[in-house]
Amino acid sequence: MTSRSAKWACAAFGLMLAVGVLPTLASAQGTVESGTATQAPPDGDQSGRGQVRITGTFACDSDLALNTCFLFIGKILFEASELVHAERCLFDEVGDPLAISPRSGSKSNDAVYEVDQSLRPTCRMQIKNRGKGVCEFQLKVDRAVIDTPSESPVSLETAFLLDCAGSAAFDASACWRSSVNGPGNWRAPRPDSECQ
C-alpha cells in the first residue's frame, strides 16, 4: 500500500468512528476475552506507569495476510472520551490516524505491530489468523497515564482496523469493573447485565 492510499484509509476510518458507521459493519464486531488496566498510582500524578492488556477475537478472512496490513488503532478504552493517554499510538505528528506497519519478520498468519518502543507510552499488538474466519489479538500499552472511568462497572469501547487487500476491523464494548485487588485496578469482561 502506498503512503497516499494509507492516508485515505486512515481518514476513512476516522470518519467512520466519528459518525458511528464502523460498528454497523459485519467485519467490525468482535469479543473482548480478557482485559486489565492498572493505574499506577491510582490517585494523583501517575508518572506514566499505567498498563493496559486486552485480548479478544474478531472475524477475518481465513487467507488474510497480516504481514501486508496496516493497523489503525481507533480506541483503546473509550467512554465519553479516550481514557488512555497514548495519542502517539493513535495519531501521527500532524494529527491523522497513525498507520502502523507490521514489524519485520511478521508472518501472514502471525504479525506484530508496534510504535517506537524507545518513547513512552509504548503500544504493541500481536494478531494471529487462526483460519476458519477467526483472528485473535493481544494489545499491550505500557507507561501510560490512564484516566479513571466515571463509574464501576462501566462499558468501555475498543476499536481498530486492519487495512490491506482483505481488510478486517474490531469494534466492541466490554463491561469493566474496579478490581478487589485495590483502587486503580480494572478488569473485564464482566457480565453485560452489570453495565445495564
Across the 196 residues of the chain, what is the mean pLDDT of every consecutive 10-residue run?
A: 44 42 51 91 66 96 95 96 94 92 97 90 96 95 91 95 90 91 85 84
Which residue type does 20 have?
G
Say how many CA atoms lie within 13 Å of 150 toward its Cβ.
Answer: 9
Say how many CA atoms lie within 13 Å of 60 toward its Cβ.
Answer: 32
Distance CA 102, CA 164 (A): 11
DSSP state of 22: G
Which residue type does 93 have?
E
Note the pLDDT of residue 37. Answer: 94
The helix (run of H) or strand (run of E) holding residue 162 is strand 154-163
In this structure, is the dihedral angle defined by the CA atoms of residues 156, 119, 170 and 96, taken in order, positive or negative?
positive
Residue in this structure with the C-alpha cell 490516524, named with its chain if needed:
97
The helix (run of H) or strand (run of E) holding residue 8 is helix 3-19
pTM greater than 0.95 (yes/no):
no
48 and 38 Cβ atoms separated by less than 8 Å: no
Distance CA 98, CA 37 (A): 23
Note the pLDDT of residue 140. Answer: 97
Which residue type does 59 have?
A
The helix (run of H) or strand (run of E) holding residue 34 is strand 31-38
